[in-house]
Structure 1
Amino acid sequence: MSTFDLFDGRVDRPPEPIADGAWLLPGFALANASEMLQSISQIALQAPFRHQVTPGGYRMSASMTSCGQLGWVTDRTGYRYSPTDPLTGRPWPDMPGIFDQLARQAADAAGYPHFVPQGCLINRYETGARMSLHQDKDEDRLEAPIVSVSLGAPITFLFGGPNRTDPTARFRLEHGDVVVWGGASRMFFHGVAPLGKRAAHPATGAVRYNLTFRRVR
């Protein structure tokens, strides 16, 4: 099977290499977007979205929740993965089958077969919310890729290099787009610019959801 046998031409934008080991797969999640949005609503009933606080005391502008075996959390004591939701004290909601399937297929399409997502961090961006440049480095399994799914309002994705001061490229992410990175670019800095005042999508209004799938342990 070639790298993009699983990419079946869902949109007229072809897969785009954005760095060594990193790919933008336009529209890869479109066929499953409605079901995934419904699943997000169900997850939020069990584990509500909340604005987490960084160890430095910064309140994150995007609200967050998680599903799967492990959820990513942050507070004044540090960044970590937890099997339970600190807000409810209960295990995180199970990862929906469509989430697991889509994450595995996207990883495979980008050249990372046998990806096993253990957790899905769901970020909810409203007007002005952003994510500053950072590395995903709280995982033990750094050989596994990151799979990032965009749903709803479009946003600008920033992808840099191994150092925070490296130049960053900008990519417009639209409803259903998926970004996968690993290998040589696994530790590259990345983030998103503030969600624009006019950014919207018929399915979500002025809201963008980002689902980030990770193998942790």
Structure 2
Amino acid sequence: MDAELFPRPRAQVAPGAVHLPDWLDPDGQRALLAACREWARPPAGLRTVRTPGGGTMTARQVCLGWHWYPYAYARTVADGDGAPVKPFPAWLDALAWRAVRDALGQQAPPYDIALINFYDADARMGMHRDADERSDAPVVSLSLGDSCVFRFGNTATRTRPYTDVELRSGDLFVFGGPSRLAYHGVPRVRPGTAPPGLGLRGRLNVTLRVSGFPPAG
């Protein structure tokens, strides 16, 4: 029996944390992938993130709206080519608003940050919190390409208890409220699992956030 004949149900993984499988249809996935490919071009393009301790993240990243680097935000690629960060488009804000409505049934403030992480077959993301913003608005996460194991934990520790969720291309994961500062990570990617028609080898994660920072002026 082919399990894919049966839709995967939405799931509340923790209070305020919701997984919506297949939220983005194939046309929407292709459109978002095309945009990511443009954003990845220099200047202010896809880069390797270096940590203060001298290590490097295995997932490469490009930012929109505000440039994130460990552990701060800037308007330029402060840890890269120094170029101004690419603008955050209005249509991404509309996508985030729809995601929060569908996942949590609530309205959202304007979104102004996108972090796009590219994972090849060997990339990982350690357990961390999205804690460098001044807003407690929900985090919106969209997956493209290869499936991954997404580990969603608690707000107190990087260790158990946590829940492992399979995120596939087109899946939406939103976390806010009591789960806004929960630790989370990606212990592994499953190579070769991307939809054949998408044309992507690897995984892209598009994370949308509200900065809470004053407008530039």
CA contact (8 A) 1:107 1:180 kept: yes
Report runs of 4+ in structure 1 exceeding 4 Å deviation.
none
The answer to whether 1:81 aligns with 2:73 is yes
**Which residue in 2 is equivalent to 1:5?**
none
The answer to whether 1:36 aligns with 2:48 is no
**Which residue in 2 is equivalent to 1:216?**
211
CA apart distance, 1:92: 1.5
The answer to whether 1:65 aligns with 2:76 is no
SS in 1 for 2:205: strand
> In structure 1, what residue type is equivalent to 2:124?
R
The answer to whether 1:50 aligns with 2:47 is yes
> In structure 2, what residue type is equivalent to 1:32?
G
Size of the alignment, in residue pairs?
201
CA apart distance, 1:90: 2.5
- Stretches of structure 1 lacking an aligned partner (at least 5 in a row): 1-10
SS in 1 for 2:41: helix
Query: Matched residues in 1 for 2:85 and 2:203: separation?
Result: 22
Query: Matched residues in 2 for 1:20 and 1:197: separation?
Result: 31
Identity, in percent, stands at 35
The answer to whether 1:13 aligns with 2:5 is no
> In structure 2, what residue type is equivalent to 1:62?
A
Q: CA RMSD in A?
A: 1.7
Q: Deviations over 1:15-52 (max 9, x none)?
A: 21110011001111224111111111111124221111
Q: Deviations over 1:136-181 (max 9, x none)?
A: 111111x211001101111110001112222221111011101000
CA contact (8 A) 1:201 1:207 kept: no
TM-score (norm 1): 0.86
Between stretches 85-94 and 196-205, larger displacement belongs to 196-205
Query: Matched residues in 1 for 2:75 and 2:128: separation?
Result: 23
Match of residue 102, structure 2, among 106, 109, 116: 109
> In structure 2, what residue type is equivalent to 1:49?
L
CA apart distance, 1:97: 3.7
CA apart distance, 1:95: 2.2
Between stretches 26-35 and 92-101, larger displacement belongs to 92-101
CA contact (8 A) 2:108 2:137 kept: no
